[in-house]
Amino acid sequence: MLSIGFESVGLIIPVWSDLVREAEAKGWTYHEFIHEVLSYEMRCRERKTSEKLMKWAEFPEVLTFEQFRLEEQTAIGEIDQL
């Protein structure tokens, strides 16, 4: 069951007025509005969890796939050519 605690109220406050304005402009139903609010909440929680896990892992640096250089990895064995 999804519960929204006091700690998460701070996440939604900065975008609350934007969501209300968008809902009014687009004529959202209450269902659509609540869906957007909860979707925003879930995205924030996922981002926060990811940040906590990255910090916990203590990686020396964060690399994206574009930054990763396979040829520089010495722990990976040679790839057989077909």
Listed residue (9, 10, 34) closest to 23, CA to CA: 34
Write out pLDDT tens, residues 8-54.
555 667 788 898 999 999 999 999 999 998 998 899 899 999 999 98
Write out pLDDT tens, residues 54-66.
889 887 777 788 8
How far is 81 from 12, CA to CA, in rounded Å? 52
Q: Decide if 23 contacts 36 (C-beta within 8 A).
A: yes
Residue type, 81: Q
